[in-house]
């Protein structure tokens, strides 16, 4: 059964019960008056009155929600409104009897009883709804004991309903005993008033007003009930029922005690409100970071909450690396005046950012000799152990700040510091993430600078592989066919590592591609490249390169070494490896025409099965765990073993051999390896 259905059913049951109660009661009167011989149980109206009460109780139990710190006043407002409506009903009944005071109709027992039934309905609605609301308020912040006690009270009230079936009269001994028993219960329960503490000053006044007005309703109902009772025409008198009396007593007791307690709590409510505000401010400060607010917003919250926490008249917040001063109720000139008037040593240190970190709470609050402000709190804002700023709170009254206030400010400021620290950490992490992302992009860009595929020709096969130690590196290789049958291959290594090397490598590529098309000899290329690089490389950067020109028509290999690691050349006919180590100087080392004196070009004729191995120093300078250098010797030994393989196989096996030499270590430098194998059999 849903909540809604329960409410509707109980409403229907209540309405029906009341109708039946009124009907049977009036019928009984009718029977009595005309002495009809109808066998009708006298208990019927009683039973329906009871079901009416129970239905109303059920209705309000479901209708009125649990007490919550935000709806106390709503609950009291409900009592007030229900009371108002029912009281108006009751007033109309009184009006009827007032108007027809001298007419026979107002003396007729049936009329009297009918209107009494209406009044009973109204009174019970008011009593039960108020009873349920009082219950909600009492059981706000319930304990096990309280729940047991309340349960007992409700059962006792239920018991009193059965007791009422025996037709006891008001003020008889039994009646009084039961009433006193129930009343003492009500009294004990009435001291559960925790909800009052949660009302603010204004709400407290309102609740006093609502309860007082409800008291008037109660008085009015009692008056009206006794009026009816005094006619002695009633077949069922509500005043003779212990249950109703007990509820009246309970409602009056709880209302009375509530009013008294609320009144006594009025003066202290501002303190409670203040504490609550501090807690909320504190929460705001600690939450200002996860919600992605900026440092300045945190300072704003800190400034405002600190001011209200210590009732400061003015305040300002200065940051060490920021000329912008956050201020409240104080202008720039006044801030400077305050600054000059601080004469306490530790306060002076703090306000001029010379705080040494030796913090003690009693040092931060001091008096001030100033025309307007007499008290000052200077609180350092510490982030990561160093002073980040200062919070200054001012009061026009002397000795206005006490120890407790300073403690609150200390907590506020340290919370703000944590927030700001977190904020810096988060932004640093984001920044870092961004750099990583940028580097990834740089890596893709650089990979696209290296040729994805090298030229092919029947005379040779060439393969190359490059690897950067960091995301980007300074190694470069490329090949361009400058005219039919003439291929230019370059391998280079930019000094340094990482991004700066990568930029220079990109410049090298630009220079290679523009100069190679001039179709000059390798020496010319190197001279022009040096001149070009001399203008754009920073002073301490240089590039080593080897330039090879393969003329497939003349079967010649012409090369220049510009300070680069000497390439290995394997000659099939002699079965020997020679180093192509002609003299040369790195590009960018000499930035004038003197450089050209150091460029030496050499030419050799290639034959079938010859191998050219070019590489960068990442390979020869590799060291194993024993700190042993791989060196040119290591590379030579490796090449000799694989001369019968294809270029691709040679490259792979050389890298494998190097890895065997390194063992578990990884190559931590940029390296490039290129293998060119000549085959003159295919291109007669």
Partner 1 sequence: MVNIDISKEHDIQLITVVGEIDASSSIELDDALRSASDEGSGIIINLEGLDYISSAGLGVFISYIDELKTKRILFILFGMQPAVKEVFDILGLNQIMKIVTDKDEAIKIANEI
Q: Which residues bind partner 1 (CB under 8 A)?
A: 493, 495-497, 539-542, 544, 562-566, 581, 583-586, 588-591, 598, 629
Please, which residue, 564 or 677, has the CB nearer to partner 1?
564
Closest of 514, 57, 469 to residue 244, by C-alpha: 57
With residues binned 3-state (H G I as helix, E B as strand, rest as coil), the percentages for the chain, rounded to 5, are 55, 15, 25
Closest of 289, 305, 215, 202 to residue 254, by C-alpha: 215
CB of 370 to partner 1, least distance (A): 51
CB of 541 to partner 1, least distance (A): 6
Cα distance between residue 643 and residue 641, in whole Å: 6
Please, which residue, 471 or 493, has the CB nearer to partner 1?
493
Please tell me what DSSP assigns to residue 65. Answer: P
Tokens of 487: 């291929």
Please, which residue, 156 or 528, has the CB nearer to partner 1?
528
CB of 478 to partner 1, least distance (A): 20
CB of 598 to partner 1, least distance (A): 6
Please, which residue, 338 or 501, has the CB nearer to partner 1?
501
Burial 265-289 (b: 16+ CB within 10 A, else e): beeebeeeeeeeebeebbebbbebb
Please, which residue, 110 or 590, has the CB nearer to partner 1?
590
Tokens of 423: 């904020």
Closest of 275, 268, 325 to residue 305, by C-alpha: 275
- The alpha carbon dihedral of 403, 406, 411, 414 has a sign of negative
Please, which residue, 466 or 541, has the CB nearer to partner 1?
541
Q: Find where tokens 């006298």 sit.
A: 42
CB of 540 to partner 1, least distance (A): 4
Residue 43, Cβ density class (10 Å: 0-12 exposed, 13-18 middle, ≥19 buried): exposed
Please, which residue, 380 or 588, has the CB nearer to partner 1?
588
CB of 477 to partner 1, least distance (A): 17
Cα distance between residue 646 and residue 404, in whole Å: 85
Please enumerate in sequence order all residues whose Cβ is within 8 A of that of 299, keeping only pairs 6 or more positions apart, or say none. Answer: 317, 319, 326, 389, 416
CB of 601 to partner 1, least distance (A): 15
Residue 524, Cβ density class (10 Å: 0-12 exposed, 13-18 middle, ≥19 buried): middle
CB of 584 to partner 1, least distance (A): 5
Please, which residue, 16 or 506, has the CB nearer to partner 1?
506
Q: Quick check: helix, strand or coil at residue 63?
A: helix
CB of 526 to partner 1, least distance (A): 12
Cα distance between residue 460 and residue 253, in whole Å: 110
The angle at the Cα of 280, spanning 279 to 281, to the nearest 5 degrees, equals 90
Q: What are phi and psi of 213, to 5 degrees?
A: -60, -40
CB atoms within 10 A of CB 448: 9
Please, which residue, 522 or 584, has the CB nearer to partner 1?
584
CB of 572 to partner 1, least distance (A): 27
Cα distance between residue 202 and residue 179, in whole Å: 37
Length of the chain: 684
CB of 475 to partner 1, least distance (A): 12
Please, which residue, 35 or 626, has the CB nearer to partner 1?
626
Please, which residue, 305 or 504, has the CB nearer to partner 1?
504
Please, which residue, 234 or 585, has the CB nearer to partner 1?
585
CB of 495 to partner 1, least distance (A): 4
Please, which residue, 334 or 472, has the CB nearer to partner 1?
472
Please, which residue, 14 or 586, has the CB nearer to partner 1?
586
Cα distance between residue 273 and residue 271, in whole Å: 5
CB of 533 to partner 1, least distance (A): 13
Contact of 442 with 459, CB cutoff 8 Å: no
Cα distance between residue 583 and residue 564, in whole Å: 10
What's 616-646 look like in SS3? CHHHHCCECCCCCECHHHHHHHHHHHCCCCC
Cα distance between residue 213 and residue 219, in whole Å: 10
Q: What are phi and psi of 494, to 5 degrees?
A: -85, 140
CB of 671 to partner 1, least distance (A): 13
């Amino acid at each position: 059964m849903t909540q809604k259905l329960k409410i509707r059913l109980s409403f229907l049951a209540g309405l029906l019960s009341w109708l039946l109660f009124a009907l049977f009661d009036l019928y009984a009167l009718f029977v009595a008056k005309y002495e009809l011989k109808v066998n009708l149980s006298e208990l019927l109206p009683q039973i329906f009155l009871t079901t009416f009460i129970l239905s109303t109780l059920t209705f309000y139990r479901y209708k009125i929600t649990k007490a919550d710190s935000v709806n106390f006043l709503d609950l009291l407002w409900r009592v007030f409104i229900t009371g108002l409506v029912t009281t108006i009903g009751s007033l109309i009944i009184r009006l009827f009897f007032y108007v027809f005071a001298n007419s026979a109709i107002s003396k007729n027992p049936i009329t009297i009883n009918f209107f009494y039934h209406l009044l009973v309905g109204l009174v019970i609605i008011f009593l039960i709804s108020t009873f349920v609301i009082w219950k909600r308020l009492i059981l706000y912040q319930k304990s096990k004991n309280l729940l047991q006690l309340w349960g007992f009270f409700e059962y006792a009230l239920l018991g009193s309903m059965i007791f009422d079936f025996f037709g006891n009269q008001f003020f008889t001994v039994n009646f009084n005993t039961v009433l006193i028993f129930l009343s003492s219960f009500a009294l004990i329960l009435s001291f559960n008033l925790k909800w009052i503490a949660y009302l603010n000053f204004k709400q407290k006044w309102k609740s006093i007003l609502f309860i007082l007005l409800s008291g008037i309703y109660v008085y009015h109902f009692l008056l009206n009930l006794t009026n009816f009772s005094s006619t002695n025409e009633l077949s069922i008198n509500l005043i003779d029922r212990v249950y109703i009396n007990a509820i009246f007593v309970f409602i009056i007791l709880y209302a009375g005690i509530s009013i008294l307690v609320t009144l006594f709590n009025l003066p202290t409510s501002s303190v409670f409100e203040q504490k609550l505000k501090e807690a909320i401010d504190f929460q705001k400060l600690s939450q200002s970071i996860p919600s992605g607010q900026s440092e300045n917003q945190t300072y704003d919250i800190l400034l405002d909450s600190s001011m209200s926490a210590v009732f400061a008249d003015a305040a300002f917040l200065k940051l060490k690396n920021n000329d912008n001063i956050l201020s409240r109720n104080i202008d720039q000139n006044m801030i400077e005046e305050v600054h000059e008037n601080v004469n306490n040593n530790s306060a002076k240190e703090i306000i001029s950012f010379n705080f040494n970190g030796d913090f003690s709470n009693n040092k931060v609050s001091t008096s001030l000799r100033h025309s307007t402000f007499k008290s000052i709190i200077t609180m350092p804002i510490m982030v990561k152990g160093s002073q980040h700023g200062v919070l200054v709170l001012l009061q026009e009254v002397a000795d206005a700040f006490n120890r407790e206030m300073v403690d609150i400010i200390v907590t506020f400021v340290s919370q703000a510091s944590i927030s700001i620290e977190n904020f810096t950490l988060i932004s640093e992490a984001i920044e870092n993430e961004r750099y990583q992302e940028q580097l990834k992009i740089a890596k893709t860009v650089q990979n696209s600078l290296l040729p994805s595929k090298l030229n092919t020709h029947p005379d040779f096969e060439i393969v190359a592989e490059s690897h950067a130690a960091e995301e980007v590196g300074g190694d470069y290789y490329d090949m361009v066919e400058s005219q039919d049958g003439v291929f230019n291959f370059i391998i280079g290594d930019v000094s340094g590592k990482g991004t700066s090397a990568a930029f220079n490598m990109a410049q090298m590529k630009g220079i290679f591609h523009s100069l190679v098309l001039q179709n000059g000899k390798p020496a010319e290329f190197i001279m022009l490249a040096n001149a070009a690089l001399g203008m754009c490389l920073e002073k301490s950067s240089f590039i080593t390169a080897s330039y090879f020109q393969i003329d497939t028509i003349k079967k010649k290999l012409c090369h220049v070494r510009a300070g680069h690691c000497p390439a290995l050349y394997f000659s099939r006919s002699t079965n020997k490896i020679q180093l192509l180590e002609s003299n040369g100087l790195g590009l960018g080392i000499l930035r004038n025409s003197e450089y050209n004196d150091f460029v030496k070009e050499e030419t050799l004729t290639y034959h079938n099965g010859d191998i050219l191995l070019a590489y960068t120093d990442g390979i020869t300078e590799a060291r194993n765990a024993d700190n042993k250098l791989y060196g040119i010797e290591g590379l030579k030994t490796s090449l000799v073993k694989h001369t019968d393989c294809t270029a691709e196989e040679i490259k792979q096996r050389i890298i494998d051999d190097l890895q065997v030499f390194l063992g578990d270590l990884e190559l931590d430098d940029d390296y490039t390896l290129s293998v060119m194998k000549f085959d003159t059999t295919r291109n007669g």
